Amino acid sequence: MEFANFVFPIIIAMLAMGVSVFNLFFYIKDIYNKTTTSERVKWINAVRQLIANFIEAYVSDSSNEDKLIFIKSHIELFLNHENPDHYELSNTLSRYLNDRDLPINELTAISQIVFKNSWERMKYEAGITKREEKKYRKLTMVSILNR
């Protein structure tokens, strides 16, 4: 009888410790996902603003070459040249520096691809599935239509 009174609390304590470790693992994963997601959103917004500044300087005045070089250099600091999309964006920016008569739509299209791929990667890392995304979009559309 005394043995059973001693073993039962130990088993309960071990189960509680197991549940705590399990919860800790998911808590750490959640913090990592929130931090990563937050930093990727900041990255997207910063690069988007720099691209907008580059386009503005590109179309406004042909004497802005120093400003264009400065903005391009700033954008380069945000890019990972091992990523093919980032590499293509860098090459496109260089072409725009060398040829001031290019239409701006190519730069816009490549920038959108970079942002879309970064957004998709962020959703994947955060564990957002296509099904959850569709459900969220549907709920958003319903709330917009009900206004």
Distance CA(6)–CA(61), nearest Å, equals 83
Q: What is the pLDDT of residue 138?
A: 66
Q: What is the pLDDT of residue 136?
A: 63
Q: What is the pLDDT of residue 147?
A: 61
Q: What is the pLDDT of residue 74?
A: 96
With a cut of 70, which residues of the chain have pLDDT below it? 1-4, 62, 132-133, 135-147
Q: What is the pLDDT of residue 62?
A: 67
Tell me the pTM: 0.70
Q: Domain count for the chain, please give it.
A: 1
Asked if residue 48 lies in contact with residue 115, where contact means CB atoms within 8 angstroms, the answer is yes
Domain boundaries, position 100: 2-145
